[in-house]
Structure 1
């Protein structure tokens, strides 16, 4: 799990992750993503963080499922932007207001 682009006063930051093959399908990624997201909002909301974003390739259905299980809503289809993003993608977003408790 990684939290990127956390800047005081900025409303958004980005989350990312990688899962090794033998750990896939066990629910680890969604649980870890929810924990990271909750921690990020708890830690950085007072500095202005209200939105976390996740980007992945559009054909990565497993990442879509992880995002949805982590309460990140699919909000946009992203066109490819080579060389950094050679394939179409998805943008998922979770807002501070959607945090439980």
Structure 2
């Protein structure tokens, strides 16, 4: 298992850059020799960030759990996962 994260600056938001980057990195992670052992990737975001939820869903990361607040994150989070072989709409 491994995790994936991203951040976009305000001028780049809404252009699909995060979705394309997440999809490219996901493909690389599952297709590289090192990735052969990877069966799953996780993506966690703040529950108050609907744009990140859309990126996760668009790139084939299914919502698996709502995480309770815990330091350093004061709010609930969403845990999205993508298993090897899952597809996306990017």
Question: So what's the TM-score if we normalise by structure 2?
Answer: 0.90
Question: How far apart are residue 99 of structure 1 and its match?
Answer: 4.6
Partner of 2:55 in structure 1?
Answer: 66
Partner of 1:85 in structure 2?
Answer: 73
**Number of aligned residues:** 87
Where do residues 1-101 of structure 1 align in structure 2 (5 Å cutoff)?
12-43=1-32, 44-46=34-36, 48-82=37-71, 84-99=72-87
Contact 2:19 2:58 in 1 (8 A): yes
Question: How far apart are residue 86 of structure 1 and its match?
Answer: 1.4
Rounded to whole Å, the distance in 2 between the matches of 1:97 and 1:57 is 26
Segments of 5+ residues of structure 2 without an aligned counterpart are none
Contact 2:59 2:87 in 1 (8 A): no
Rounded to whole Å, the distance in 1 between the matches of 2:16 and 2:77 is 23
Segments of 5+ residues of structure 1 without an aligned counterpart are 1-11
Q: State the Cα RMSD in Å.
A: 1.3
